[in-house]
Amino acid sequence: MARVTSLHNKRPSAEKKAKVAPKSGKLALAPALRPEPLAHTHATMEQALDKGLKAAQARFTGGLSPIALAAAYSDWALHLSSAPGKQLQLVEKAVKKTSRLANYAGMCASNRDTTETCITPLPQDKRFTGEAWQKWPFNVMSQAFLLNQQWWHNATTGVEGVTEQHENVVEFATRQMLDVFSPSNFAMTNPEVLSKTYQQGGMNLLRGWQNFLEDAARVNTGKKPVGAEAFEVGRNLATTAGKVVYRNHLIELIQYAPTTDKVRPEPILIVPAWIMKYYILDLSEQNSLVRYLTSQGFTVFMVSWKNPDAEDRDLGMDDYLSLGIMDALDAVSAITEGQKIHAVGYCLGGTLLSIAAAAMARDNDKRLQTLTLLAAQVDFTEAGELTLFINESQLTYLEDIMWDKGYLDTTQMAGAFQLLRSNDLIWSRVIHDYLMGERSEMNDLMAWNADATRMPYRMHSQYLRQLFLKNDLAEGRYHVGDRPIAISDIRAPVFMVGTERDHVAPWHSVYKFNLLSDTDVTFVLTSGGHNAGIVSEPGHPRRHYRMQSKTKDAPYTDPDRWWTQSQPTDGSWWPALVDWLSDRSGDPVDPPSLGSEGYEPLCDAPGTYVFQE
C-alpha cells in the first residue's frame, strides 16, 4: 500500500510498538523515532544568561516582548512627529469632539430624560447598552469614553510611513490600554453596579472580593476555575464508549463502539488540535460530535494527544505528523482492512492534516476518501489579531521563554487569547464576578476550555516561524521529508467549516484554502465562534449556517461575494456534514471489530493521555 515513506525511515514492528499500561500514562519512544535535539537548545553561558533574563522578564510582561512593542510605538511616534498635516487633523478632530461632547452634556443637563447620543458604539461593544447608561450623568461618561476611543483610533491609524503590522500593534495595544479605563470597569462610574450596591447594601462588593480572593488562590495553586469540578472526564465529559487501540509517545488512538447495526465502510479519523484536550468533539451526551457521527452509522476514530512536558522539548512538526497522523492512519487502515478514510481535522489538527494530505498526494498515497477541515488555516497572511504577536522580535522572545522550560505554559497561551477578546473574557468577568458579586454558571465547554495543554519548544517554534511568520505552507516552501509539498496536490474532496466570530482562525483566512486548492470544495460558514460554532449540535438554539459547493474547475469567488450569494439556513451544520460524507461513502456494512491483530485494545475510552495535567 502506498504511503508517505519519507516520514518514516524505519517502521517498528507490531511487537516493538511502544505500549504502556493505562496506570502509568508514560511511554518511551522507540529509538528509531526519538527526535534529534535542536542545535540551539545547547546554549553558551552568555546565551543562557540572555535567555534566562528574558524568561524571567516574561513573567511580568505576559509573554509579550517589550522591545517589539517599543519598536511599533517608535515607528508610529516618529512618523507622526514628522507629519504636521496629520497632527493638524488630529487637533481639528479633538476640537470637534470636545465641542460635540460639550453640546451633548448641555442638552443632557437640560433634559435628563433624553435618549439621544452623539456617538454610536461598535456593534460588538455591549458595555453601554443597558437602560441605566442612558441616564444622566452616565450617558455623558460613556459618550466621552467612546469619543476618546474614536480619537485614539484616528491617531494610531492612517499615519503615512508606518508599517502595517506596527500600525496594527499600536492600534491594538492602545485600545487595550483605553479599555482599562472604561467607566464600566469601576463601581463609582457604573450605574448598574451602583444600583446593585444600593439594593444589597454593599453585599455584592463583599461577595465580589471573596470571589476575587478565591480565583487568585486557585490561579496560584494551579487549580481549575470555580465550578469546573462538576465536570469530570469519563463521568459526564468524553463518555462515548470505545477503546484505545494504539498508543505511542505522542498519541492514543480511540476507536468508538458502533451504535448502529450497519455502518458506512469508510471510517472517520478525527485529528483535534493539540493546544487543548481532544474531548471538545466529545463533550456531553447531547453535544458530542463523535456520538452524533456514530449514531448516523459511521465508524469513528479519534486522536488523543499527549500533554507534553520538558522531556518533549525536541518534538517537532515532523514528529506530530509522523507519530500523530501517519501512525493513526496506519492503525485505522489495518483495523478497517484497507478502507479509504474520511479524515477530519480541527484547528491546528486541520492544518497538520492538510500537510499530511498534501504529502500523501505528492507520494501517491491514496488512502484519504475525503478531507474535512474545521476552523483550520493553511494560509496565514490574514490570520487575524494573532498575527500581532508574530514578528522576529516577538518569536525570539517567545522561544527564550520556552527554552527556559522546554514548553510553552498554558497560562501564557491563555493570556494571549484573552487579550484578543479582553472585553468579553477579562473586563466583563471583572464586572460580573467582582463588582456585581455574581458567578456565571460553568458549562461543559467552559470546563473543557480550562483543561489546557502545553506546547513543546521545537514544535511551537517551527509552527510559528514556518507557518505564521514565513507562510511556507501556502507558498510551497514547507518540506515534509526532503521535498516541499503543495496544497494544490490534494485531490480528495474537501468540506470546510469557518465560524462567523472566530478570533483564532478568522473565516476569511480559512476561506483562502479555495485560492490554493485544485479539488472540489464545499465551504460552510456557521454562526458562533471558534469553539461554540463547531460544537453546534442539532437543536442548539439560535444557530444558522451558509453553505456553497464549487468544483475544481469553477472560477474563484471572493469571500465577500460568497457571503452575498449564499443564503442562511437555520439550525446545525452537522446534518449537512453527514449528508456530504454519506454521498461519498459506500453502502452500509457490518461494523469492524474494536481493534485488530497488532492493534489490540489497551484500555477503555477516554484513555490515559487525556488525564495528564
* 536-540 long-range Cβ contacts below 8 angstroms, 24+ apart: 536/572, 536/573, 536/574, 537/286, 537/287, 537/288, 537/289, 537/292, 537/572, 537/574, 538/292, 538/571, 538/572, 538/574, 538/575, 539/286, 539/572, 540/287, 540/572
Which is it for strands 268-271 and 300-305: parallel, antiparallel or unpaired? parallel
- Round to whole Å and give the CA distance between 267 and 374: 18
In terms of Cβ atoms closer than 10 Å to its own Cβ (0-12, 13-18, 19+), residue 180 is: exposed
CA atoms within 13 A on the CB side of 187: 14
Catalytic entry in 108, 118, 347, 603: 347
Length of the chain in terms of residues written: 613
In terms of Cβ atoms closer than 10 Å to its own Cβ (0-12, 13-18, 19+), residue 443 is: middle
- Radius of gyration (C-alpha) of the chain in whole angstroms: 26
Which SS3 state, helix, strand or coil, does residue 234 take? coil
- Round to whole Å and give the CA distance between 342 and 527: 24
CA atoms within 13 A on the CB side of 173: 20
- Round to whole Å and give the CA distance between 350 and 343: 9
Using an 8 Å Cβ cutoff, are 588 and 264 in contact? yes
| 93: its cell numbers | 478632530
Nearest to residue 293, comparing CAs of 338, 326, 256, 254?
256
Is 118 assigned a catalytic role?
A: no
Q: What is the DSSP letter of 565?
A: H
Residues that are catalytic: 347
